[in-house]
Amino acid sequence: MNAIETRGLTKRYKTKTAVDGIDLEVKEGELFALLGVNGAGKTTTVRMLTCLSEPTSGECSVCGNDCVSEQSEVKKLVGISPQDTAVAENLTVYENLKLVCGIYGYPKEESENKISKMFTLFRMDEVKNSRAKTLSGGWKRKLSIAMALISEPRVLFLDEPTLGLDVLARRELWSVVESLKGKITIILTTHHMEEAEHLADRIAIMLEGKIAAVGTLAELEKLSGKTGLEESFVEIAEKFGKSGKIGSVSERGEAE
């Protein structure tokens, strides 16, 4: 079963089509990157897949559960670390994790076990009693991901996880994400080419609400005739822009 499926997924606002009929399939255990410039529609796609926003048309599902008609099932399956990290600033790291356990209604012992697992996974002991507002951007982001993982979701959404982080914090966060690879399906949205190149099994290039191309780095390179993700992205974006049509880049590297 696919972890994620979308068919003709569309979100229209009054004057803007943010997501324009996208078809995607993400396998369980994959680390899948949605790559695109600002305003490409990545966050809107994630919001529909996590039931925070309803599609205008089309369908999307998580592990076979429809994101509109089976919302309660979907919510049990997903964890999200949003762009504006959803941590409670005045609570400590421990208290933030405890708060999430409370929201899910876990009994005391189970909560402590889950929290302790997160402290081990993220090596967070040194900041256990620090208030979130005093944390560096990197620690805050790690806490946000730990909070998203408490419920042991099958699909983790990371929306621009390294936005605003310095190079060392970014590298450290990458190693955290790498340690999760294969254990859980991860949907990563980013406009960092290097990040997608470094972490993702497959990459979807999103432009103006549409999927222009999708594949492994090698497949995108073959499609574009270029080397490296950045060069491939630019080539695909140019071809997609020139064609002025909805479609994907074909095997021959021509916009369909």
* Site for ligand ATP, rule CB under 6 A: 13, 16, 18, 36, 38-44, 191
Q: What H or E segment, with its residue span, contains residue 142?
A: helix 137-149
Q: In the complex, what is the shortest distance from the CB of residue 207 to ligand ATP, in angstroms, rounded to a whole number?
A: 10
Going by C-beta distance under 8 Å and a sequence separation of 6 or more, which residues neighbour residue 133?
Answer: 89, 90
Q: How far is CA 17 from its chain centroid?
A: 20
**What does the block give as tokens for 240?**
């997609």
Q: Quick one: 22 or 147, whose CB is closer to ligand ATP?
A: 22
Which of residues 40 and 80 has its CB atom nearest to ligand ATP in the complex?
Answer: 40
Minimum gap (Å) between residue 4 Cβ and ligand ATP: 16
- Minimum distance of ligand ATP from residue 107's CB (angstroms): 37
Task: Determine contact, residues 115/97, Cβ cutoff 8 Å.
Answer: yes
Closest separation between CB of residue 150 and ligand ATP, Å? 25
Tell me whether residue 127 or residue 193 sits nearer to ligand ATP (CB atom): 193
Residue 154 DSSP code = S
Closer of 24 and 40 to ligand ATP (Cβ) = 40
Q: Which of 99, 234 has the CB closer to ligand ATP? A: 234
Q: How far is the CB of 111 from ligand ATP (least distance, A)?
A: 33
SS (H, E, C) 79-102: EEECCCCCCCCCCEHHHHHHHHHH
Nearer to ligand ATP, 68 or 103 (CB): 68
Closest separation in Å from C-beta 187 to ligand ATP: 12
Strand stretches in the chain, DSSP E = 2-12, 17-27, 31-35, 57-62, 65-66, 78-81, 155-159, 185-190, 202-207, 210-215
H or E segment to which residue 196 belongs: helix 193-199
* Other beta carbons less than 10 A from residue 253's beta carbon: 16
| Nearest CB to ligand ATP, comparing residues 10 and 96 | 10
- Amino acid making up residue 44: T
- What is the rounded distance in angstroms from the CA atom of residue 121 to the CA atom of residue 87? 18
Rounded-to-integer distance, Cα 90 and Cα 29, Å: 35
